């Protein structure tokens, strides 16, 4: 397709149907093809210039409808526009803090908002291939930095335990992953600082004795690593009470406590099944009655 002059350039200072042209049109070239009876296909000037510089790596720009909302959407996502101008459309300078506080998973690298954030922080990230894809982050990059992050967590807890002499809490529970695999989650916490000690795969046996044997092995590892453990905390479901009764005599210097995770879950379920259910049913009934009787139609009139 032939590239025609930009919409602003073909009639500088003129108007279209009595209105001045949109300032966004200066960022686009017009193609010699209409997308409907009154609008033309356009391409981003920044994407087109990148294509001219490296035709082998940068494909021809995606066609954009010649209207304001389509232009705004494209510029908000365009990495080349960000690299040239230094800021995306309607950029949020607080995105870095939000992303860090939200503890985003590695899948966030696929999001255009995350890519725009990286380009905002460093314009070099706009280059093709500069940002690793999700599989690289979840594999090679994660493996490379997992050990470093684990040491940082350990040093953070040690920095409190060593000067204060505090005894940390060992938190343990069996979780089921999205792959339907059961793992024994082990955390060490002290004064609000948490260290992920590990996720240990469990056997096919999920009875109390099997969990006792595995927890005992983890406790021995923790004590051998010179951690001072003051309490072992588990939930209050099923065989966990039996686990505590078996382990408590073996470790008289450690308190075996329970958290009320299941009790809280049951409490929330009970509340939602009563109060919330009644309120939602009443609200749905009122809305249905209003629609059936044409109340909203009369209100608009």
With residue 146 as reference, give the H or E element that holds it. Answer: helix 142-164
Class for the domain spanning 166-259? alpha beta
Residues sharing a CB contact under 8 Å with residue 188, sequence separation 6 or more, in sequence order: 157, 168, 169, 170, 171, 194, 195, 197, 222, 227, 229
Give the bridge partners for 3, in sequence order.
31
Considering only CA atoms, which of 241, 240, 236 is closest in space to residue 266? 236
Domain boundaries, the chain: 3-126, 166-259, 263-300
Global confidence as pTM? 0.41
Q: Cα–Cα distances in Å, from 100 out to 157, 272, 301?
A: 20, 32, 50
Residues sharing a CB contact under 8 Å with residue 104, sequence separation 6 or more, in sequence order: 114
Per-position pLDDT tens, the chain of length 301 = 445 544 444 433 344 544 555 677 778 888 877 777 778 788 888 888 888 887 777 777 777 877 777 877 777 777 777 777 765 554 444 444 444 445 555 555 556 676 677 777 777 666 666 666 666 666 666 667 777 777 777 777 777 777 777 777 777 777 777 777 777 777 777 887 777 777 777 766 666 677 777 777 777 777 777 777 777 777 766 666 667 777 777 777 777 777 766 667 777 777 777 666 677 777 777 777 665 655 444 444 4
**Residue 160 and residue 193 in contact, taking contact as beta carbons nearer than 8 Å:** yes
């Amino acid at each position: 397709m032939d590239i025609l002059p930009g919409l602003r350039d073909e009639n500088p200072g003129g108007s279209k149907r009595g209105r001045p042209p949109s300032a966004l049109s200066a960022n686009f070239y017009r193609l010699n093809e209409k997308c409907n009876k009154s609008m033309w296909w356009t391409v981003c000037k920044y994407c087109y210039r990148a294509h001219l510089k490296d035709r082998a790596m940068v494909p021809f720009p995606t066609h954009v409808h010649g209207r304001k909302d389509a232009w705004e959407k494209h510029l908000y996502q365009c990495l080349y526009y960000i690299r040239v101008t230094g800021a995306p459309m309607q950029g949020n300078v607080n995105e870095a803090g939000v992303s860090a506080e939200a503890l985003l998973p590695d899948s966030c690298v696929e999001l255009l908002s995350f890519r725009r954030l990286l380009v905002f922080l460093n314009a070099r990230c706009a280059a093709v291939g500069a940002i690793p894809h999700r599989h690289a982050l979840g594999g090679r990059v994660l493996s490379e930095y997992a050990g470093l992050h684990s040491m940082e967590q350990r040093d953070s807890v040690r920095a409190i335990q060593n000067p204060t002499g505090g005894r940390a809490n060992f938190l343990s529970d069996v979780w089921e992953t999205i792959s339907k695999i059961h793992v024994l989650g082990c955390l060490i916490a002290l004064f609000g600082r948490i260290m992920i000690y590990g996720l240990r795969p469990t056997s096919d046996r999920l009875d109390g004795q099997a969990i006792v044997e595995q927890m005992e092995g983890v406790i021995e590892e923790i004590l051998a690593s010179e951690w001072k453990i003051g309490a072992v905390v588990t939930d209050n479901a099923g065989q966990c009470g039996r686990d505590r009764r078996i382990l408590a005599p073996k470790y008289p210097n450690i308190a075996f406590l329970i958290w009320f995770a299941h009790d809280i879950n049951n409490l929330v379920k009970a509340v939602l099944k009563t109060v919330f259910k009644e309120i939602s049913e009443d609200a749905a009934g009122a809305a249905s009655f209003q629609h059936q009787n044409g109340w909203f139609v009369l209100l608009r009139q």
